[in-house]
């Protein structure tokens, strides 16, 4: 099904999305998207959507199942509290990507803004995953409780972001290339990959390359793993 979204509000577009799902549509091509926010918010269905244009804030917020492919950039807070499904972005992403995400995957071809993966967590057997093709802004993985972030640092081989993993108390961040100790938040450790890490990265990077129509291969020995030193980094500040 093809949906022309020119001049439509986000409410009108979301009504059309839900109507398409009710009618049994399996794929939705959405043309002329221009900053409308909250698309697919709360949608519980495995529909495949192709978005042509730039969607607004909170794309896929609290969604549970859709597979969304964006042929452009995205704005802020995409995947907010996302529970399941996938968002593939053939461009750059704004700030707070994957905020409080607790399941599903977000793949970004280019760069992401500040505070990507803030408050990421997990729910039951779900482990949220974010893969970033290029660079990430400051405060990457801030207050992460669980989940996985992968930064490929294409064309640079070094991540210069500041305060990486500050307040992190769960999950893992994999970075391809170098990262200096002064770029890390307190309470974050750096280690080489073990067998589980290698197997996980092999699978997720194969999936990422397939979704990006890329044949690029990655040397897993060029990655480092960031993880929290303990589960309560600010324990001394609290009474309990």
Cα–Cα distance for residue pair 103/57, rounded to 1 Å: 19
Distances (CA, A) of 206 to 48, 58, 64, 127, 202: 20, 27, 23, 18, 6
3 state SS of 186: coil
What pLDDT does 233 receive? Answer: 60
What pLDDT does 187 receive? Answer: 87
Look up residue 209 and give its two tokens.
């390359």
Residue 23 phi/psi, 5-degree rounding, is -85, 0
Q: What is the CATH number of domain 92-237?
A: 2.160.20.60
Look up residue 213 and give its two tokens.
């129509």
- Per residue of the chain (240 residues), give pLDDT as tens: 999 999 999 999 999 999 999 999 999 999 999 999 999 999 999 999 999 999 999 999 999 999 999 999 999 999 999 999 999 999 999 999 999 999 999 999 999 999 999 999 988 889 999 999 999 999 999 999 999 999 999 988 889 999 999 999 999 999 999 899 999 998 899 999 999 999 999 999 999 999 999 999 999 999 999 999 876 665 655 555
Q: Contact at 8 Å (CB) between 178 and 229?
A: no
Q: Contact at 8 Å (CB) between 141 and 160?
A: no
CA 235 to chain centre: 28
Cα–Cα distance for residue pair 99/187, rounded to 1 Å: 21
- Give the residue from 173, 184, 182 showing the smallest Cα distance to 223: 173
3 state SS of 208: helix
3 state SS of 34: strand
User: CB under 8 Å to 216, separation ≥6 — which residues?
Assistant: 209
- Give the residue from 78, 188, 111, 125 showing the smallest Cα distance to 174: 188
Q: Contact at 8 Å (CB) between 34 and 12?
A: no
User: CB under 8 Å to 39, separation ≥6 — which residues?
Assistant: 10, 13, 14, 17, 30, 33, 51, 55, 56, 59, 60
Q: Contact at 8 Å (CB) between 113 and 155?
A: no
What pLDDT does 155 receive? Answer: 83
What pLDDT does 111 receive? Answer: 98
What pLDDT does 130 receive? Answer: 99
């Amino acid at each position: 099904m093809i949906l022309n979204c020119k001049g439509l509000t986000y409410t009108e577009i979301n009504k059309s999305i839900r109507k398409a799902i009710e009618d049994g549509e399996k794929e939705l091509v959405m043309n002329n998207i221009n900053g409308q926010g909250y698309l697919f918010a709360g949608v519980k269905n495995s529909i495949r959507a192709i978005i042509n244009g730039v969607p607004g804030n909170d794309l896929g917020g609290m969604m549970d199942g859709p597979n969304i492919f964006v042929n452009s950039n995205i704005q802020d807070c995409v995947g907010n509290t996302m529970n399941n499904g996938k968002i593939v972005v053939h461009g750059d992403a704004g700030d707070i990507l994957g905020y409080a995400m607790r399941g599903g995957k977000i793949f970004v071809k280019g760069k992401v803004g500040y505070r990507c993966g803030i408050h990421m967590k997990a729910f039951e057997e779900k482990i949220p995953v974010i893969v970033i093709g290029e660079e990430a802004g400051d405060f990457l993985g801030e207050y992460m409780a669980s989940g996985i972030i992968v930064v490929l640092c294409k064309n640079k081989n070094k991540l210069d972001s500041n305060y990486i993993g500050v307040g992190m108390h769960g999950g893992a961040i994999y970075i391809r290339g170098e990262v200096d100790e002064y770029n890390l938040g307190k309470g974050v450790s750096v280690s080489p990959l073990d067998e589980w890490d290698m197997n996980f990265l092999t699978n997720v990077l194969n999936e990422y390359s397939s979704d990006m129509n890329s044949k690029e291969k990655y040397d897993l020995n060029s990655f480092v793993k960031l993880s929290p030193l303990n589960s309560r980094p600010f324990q001394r500040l609290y009474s309990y």
